Every structure is written in C-alpha cells, then in structure tokens.
C-alpha cells in the first residue's frame, strides 16, 4: 500500500489540526497561568497530539507519561482498562492535565481520572483531540476538546487500527478495504 496514492475520507486535515493546536494551547496557557501544570500523556495514542500540544503551551509544564490499553487490535473496547505503565512521578501539588487522542466510550478517561485522583493532585482535568459523544458507556465531558466527531472508527495522528496508521499526519476514517 502506498499512502501517497490512497484516497481516504479525511475528518481532520493537517491544517485544521494545526489551527486547533494553537487554540487549545492558547486557552490552556491562559487557564494555567500561575499554576503548577503537569501534563500526563496517555500512551500510546496521544504521543503525537501531546507532543504538538505542549509545543503550543507557553506556561511552565512538567510532562509525564502513562500507558493504558483496552482496544487491542479491534474496533471495540474490551471494557477492561489495563494500566500497562503507571505514571512514575508524585502528583501532589500539581495541576494535572490528562491528554489523550480520543474519548469514545469514555471508559479509558474515566478510569484514568479516578486512578490519578487517588494520587492527590491539586486539580485534574482532561484534554482530548477527538470526542465521540454518541458512543459513551459512562458519562464524561472532556474539559478541553479539539473536535467532536460522529460515530466512525478513525485513525491517523496517533490513532491506530491493528497497530498501524498512527504515523499518518491527519485523521481519517478507515474503510473496509483498509482493514
Ligand atoms: O473512550 P474509550 O472507548 O476508552 O477509547 C479511548 C481510548 O482508546 C484508545 O486506546 P487503546 O486502548 O486503543 O490503546 P492505544 O492508546 O495504545 O491506542 C485511545 O488511545 C484512548 O486511550
Ligand atoms: O475511533 C477510534 N480509532 C482508533 N482508536 C480508538 N479508540 C477508541 N476509538 C477509536
């Protein structure tokens, strides 16, 4: 497969993502002025979004990582959130911002928020590039959100299907012939 010649249905182009990163970065920088910001990037999916987002944040920020997994190679959440690697730093006194690529059923974000709240941060909020509100299994509204999207399985810009497509620089809908 040559990605240069594929015609995918693009949901968020590189230009749209870049403009959104500036907006989110400016808002977060304003809201966290004078605070003790710690961004926690949820791996693997958020590695590209988070790397771009923090470069649009102008206040001091400490960056930590946590790895969770629930989808495996499929398109449906297993319903069980595995904490593959926990955050290693103490969260006490920090204003934590959890960054993920997507909130779909919200099982991952709600599990992570509860897990991290137990570590006594000064405050905790969530930030996602994509939100699929129609697929919720638990109630959750991300504090910062790039794009609200319809119920389509999307990949690219960190999001995967069968561990591929994370490197594509825009978000698109996988079709049956890509599966
Ligand atoms: O709202 P949910 O239905 O829980 O889905 C969102 C989660 O699913 C994906 O992670 P995945 O388990 O596929 O692992 P990954 O980060 O390695 O892609 C994605 O990165 C989110 O963390
Ligand atoms: O639409 C999606 N694409 C990739 N990974 C995901 N994890 C939850 N929803 C999605």
Cβ contact 123:130 at 8 Å: no
Q: Which tens digit of pLDDT belongs to each residue from 95-133?
A: 999 999 999 999 999 999 999 999 999 999 999 999 999
ipTM tops 0.85: yes
Indicate the number of domains in the chain: 1
Residue 21 lies in a domain: yes
**8 alpha carbon – ligand 2 mean position (Å):** 16
At 46, which CATH number?
A: 3.40.50.2020
Residue 97 lies in a domain: yes
Residue 167 lies in a domain: yes
Residue 3 lies in a domain: no
Say what the pTM is: 0.95
Catalytic, 131? Answer no
**34 alpha carbon – ligand 1 mean position (Å):** 32
The enclosing H or E element of 104 equals none
Residue 4 lies in a domain: no
CA distance 132 to 152: 8
Residue 1 lies in a domain: no
160 close to ligand 1 (CB < 6 Angstrom): yes
**103 alpha carbon – ligand 2 mean position (Å):** 8
Query: Which residue out of 52, 100, 104, 131 is catalytically annotated?
Result: 104
Domain range for 30 is 9-178
């Amino acid at each position: 497969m040559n990605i240069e010649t594929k015609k995918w249905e693009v949901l968020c182009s590189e230009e749209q993502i870049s403009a959104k990163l500036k907006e989110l970065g400016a808002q977060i920088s304003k809201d966290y002025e004078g605070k003790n910001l710690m961004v926690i990037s949820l791996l693997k999916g958020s590695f590209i979004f988070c790397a771009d987002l923090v470069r649009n944040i102008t206040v001091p920020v400490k960056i930590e990582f946590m790895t969770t997994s629930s989808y495996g190679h499929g398109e449906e959440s297993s319903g069980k959130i595995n904490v593959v690697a926990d955050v290693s730093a103490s969260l006490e006194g920090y204003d934590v911002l959890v960054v993920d690529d997507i909130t779909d059923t919200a099982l991952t974000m709600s599990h992570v928020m509860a897990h991290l709240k137990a570590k006594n941060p000064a405050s905790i909020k969530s930030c996602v590039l994509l939100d699929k509100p129609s697929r919720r299994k638990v109630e959750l509204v991300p504090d910062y959100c790039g794009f609200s999207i319809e119920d389509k399985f999307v990949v690219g810009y960190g999001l995967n299907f069968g561990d591929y497509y994370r490197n594509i620089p825009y978000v698109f809908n996988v079709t049956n012939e890509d599966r």
